[in-house]
Amino acid sequence: MFFRQYPFTLVTLITLTAFNVSSKVDGPCVRQLTQPFELGEAPTWDDRIKLLYFVDILAGNIYSYDPVTTILNSIQLDGDVTPVVPTVHDTHVFVAGLNRSLVAIRWDPKGSKLQAVATLTTVAKQFPTSRFNDGKADAQGKLWIGTMGPENTNLASLYLITKENIENPKVVIAPANISNGVAWNKANTKFFYIDSPTRQVRVYDFDLNSGEISNPKVVFDVREHDELTGNPDGMTIDEDDNIWVALNEGGAVVKVDTNSLDVLHVIAIPASDVTSVAWGGDNLDVLFVTSARIRLNAEERRQQPAAGSLFAVYNLGTRGLPTHYVDVINDTNFPA
């Protein structure tokens, strides 16, 4: 079993030196679950078989992690891979972003054998240097997935992909720079979205049946909080409709009240580049956190030996909402 445990800290000024290795921590804590990866991203929990999935984007690797046995399995695709989303079909079928294409995958996540891959659609043909970045399924199984171009360009979009439009996915938001985290409130009436360089989280009115979004408003802006640094990256939401946002280059996850717009907690993570978050565990009360080290130089890697690892935050006193499984595969594009 591999893990390193860190005390939970609520901070106003985030410093990685606040973490000390401890064998026993009372109350909430952060635990390192794996060895580091270069660019960990896109955690998602499958409650049907109690596994967490995530990716190492540039390595093309998709991982499954069993928090009970701590077994880590993986497959590798040829290209940049993110996100990975379980499907409604069964627990061996997934969709994933592979460069600019959405692919269907058949894989037993308790092993390391890739059984089948098929391309479902390809987007952004006018932007060949872009790739998929982050995405999730909504409560009806429609896929909301965004792209990113070379950083600091305006070549990205957020797409809505369904069975009906899969050959020509709908552009929902454009232009964007780095399309990132998405989330929905418990009632499925609000849609939360991050375009990272804006340093903001926006909320839209959301119609689940039509997939229409409208009336954008800012619910969180990093620039309004002197105690925070970095850009918002991936995010999730809890049962009380508070969003939990990963701060890339900010070394933290923040909890934001979407009604009062207050920052309720700042959870320091022992990695400056925190990439995404997802609820999981038997009671959906464990916050899994991915991170990266690809931008760190040799000295920064020495100072942040856990950077790039998968982490878990325990005992937070709340829980997440169930994962939605994607439903965009037809028998004609990925037969059983």
Alpha helices in 190-297 (DSSP H): none
Region of 272 on the Ramachandran plot (φ > 0 left; ψ -120 to 50 alpha; else beta): alpha
Place of tokens 């950083």: 151
315 is in an annotated binding site: no
C-alpha 290: how far from its chain's center? 8
User: In what helix (H) or strand (E) does residue 222 lie, and over which residues does it extend?
Assistant: none
**282 included as an active-site residue:** no
What is the spatial distance between Cα 256 and Cα 245, in angstroms, rounded to a whole number?
8
CB 288 within 8 A of CB 52: yes
> Which member of 134, 138, 195, 233 is catalytic?
233
What is the token pair recorded at 273?
Answer: 């580049």
How far apart CA 274 and CA 80 sit, in angstroms, is: 19
Peptide bond into 197 cis (omega under 30): no
- The b-or-e profile of 41-70 (16+ CB within 10 A means b, else e) is bbbbbbeeeebbbbbbbbbbbbbbbebeee
Q: Which amino acid is at 9?
A: T
Q: Is 151 annotated as a binding residue?
A: yes
**Is 233 marked as a binding-site residue?**
yes
> Does the annotation flag 41 for ligand binding?
yes
Instruction: Give the chain's radius of gyration (CA, Å).
Output: 18
Instruction: Consult the annotation and say whether 223 binds a ligand.
Output: no
Q: Is residue 180 annotated as involved in ligand binding?
A: yes
- List binding-site positions: 41, 131, 133, 151, 180, 233
Q: Catalytic residue positions?
A: 233
- List binding-site positions for a divalent metal cation: 41, 180, 233
- List binding-site positions for substrate: 131, 133, 151
